[in-house]
């Protein structure tokens, strides 16, 4: 092998060695940078106490529901939330337990939860059947507030009584409008979905099973009030009707 070839071989070996050193240095530098990035601290929201399903995101902005914690970046859960304002307008679709990072994956819009998003505590969603007149079919709209008035008999003497027995119930779903042929005096079955308390649902159930008649009444959309009358009988109508002293 002549001198020129030897020099080329030596130069190639030195070049490959330098390339290996450069690649190793580049890998080690990037690895250190990656490790340091993963160890850097970031702030996330953590549940300070259990958050039940259907909790409004706006309710979490006040009180002691959330706390901020600094965690290593590599420990951040996918979808973690760092600003509580991100929860405004959302609702919890799954329970979040104390100590867990709060993530966007556990929240959705109220429409995703349907009527469940509008129920709290003792409130219940109840679907009731009736005719077009009872349920104000064609007039009633979702979002209306209604009273329920009914008539029944009381005591051994079967005294007829009329009374509003449910106040200010939210209409979750209104009945469809009746066909024109059935618009007046319709006996076709319709249904409405109401938000009642568990106690109110019992009253409605009793009225449907044992009462003589009942119907919905739409309340004013603003500044609605209630009359002081507690109930009416044939006697109260006779003594306290129009023109009575």
The pLDDT tens digits along the chain (245 residues) read: 567 767 677 677 787 777 777 878 777 666 666 545 546 888 999 999 999 988 888 889 888 899 999 988 888 899 898 888 999 888 898 899 999 999 999 998 877 778 887 888 899 999 999 999 999 999 999 999 999 999 999 988 889 999 999 999 999 999 999 887 555 555 568 999 999 999 999 999 999 999 999 999 999 988 889 988 788 888 888 887 666 55
Per domain, the residue ranges of the chain are 41-113, 119-239
SS (H, E, C) the chain: CCHHHHHHHHHHHHHHHHHHHHHHHHHHHHHHHHHHHHHCEEEEEEECCCECCCCEHHHHHCCCCEEEEEEEHHHCCCCECCCHHHHCCCEECCCECCCCECEHHHEECHHHHHHHHHCCCCEEEEEEEECCCCCCCCCCCCCCEEEEEEEEEECCCCEEEEEEEEEEEEEEECCCCCCHHHCCCCCCCEEEEEEEEHHHHHHHHHHHHHCCEEEEEECCCCCCCCCCCCCEEHHHHHHHCCCCC
User: Looking at residue 206, what is its pLDDT?
Assistant: 95
Kindly report whether the global pTM for this prediction surpasses the value 0.75: no
Q: Identify the CATH class of 41-113.
A: alpha beta
């Amino acid at each position: 092998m002549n001198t020129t070839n030897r020099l080329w071989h030596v130069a190639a070996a030195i070049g490959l060695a330098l390339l290996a050193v450069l690649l190793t240095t580049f890998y080690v530098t990037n690895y250190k940078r990656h490790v340091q990035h993963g160890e850097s601290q970031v702030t996330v929201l953590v549940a300070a106490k259990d958050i039940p399903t259907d909790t409004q995101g706006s309710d979490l902005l006040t009180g002691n529901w959330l706390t901020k914690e600094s965690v290593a970046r590599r420990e951040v859960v996918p979808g973690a939330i760092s600003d509580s304002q991100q929860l405004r307008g959302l609702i919890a679709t799954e329970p979040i337990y104390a100590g867990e990072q709060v993530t966007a994956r556990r929240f959705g819009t109220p429409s995703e939860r349907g009527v469940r998003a509008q129920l709290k505590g003792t409130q219940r969603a109840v679907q009731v059947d009736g005719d077009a007149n009872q349920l104000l079919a064609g007039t009633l709209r979702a979002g209306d507030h209604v009273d329920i008035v009914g008539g029944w008999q009381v005591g051994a003497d079967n005294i007829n009584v009329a009374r509003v027995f449910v106040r200010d119930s939210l209409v979750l779903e209104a009945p469809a409008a009746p066909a024109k042929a059935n618009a007046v005096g319709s006996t076709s079955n319709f249904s409405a979905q109401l938000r009642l308390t568990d106690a109110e649902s019992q009253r409605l159930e009793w009225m449907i099973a044992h009462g003589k008649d009942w119907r919905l009444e739409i309340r004013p959309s603003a500044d609605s009030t209630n009359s002081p009358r507690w109930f009416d009988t044939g006697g109260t109508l006779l003594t306290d009707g129009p023109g009575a002293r």
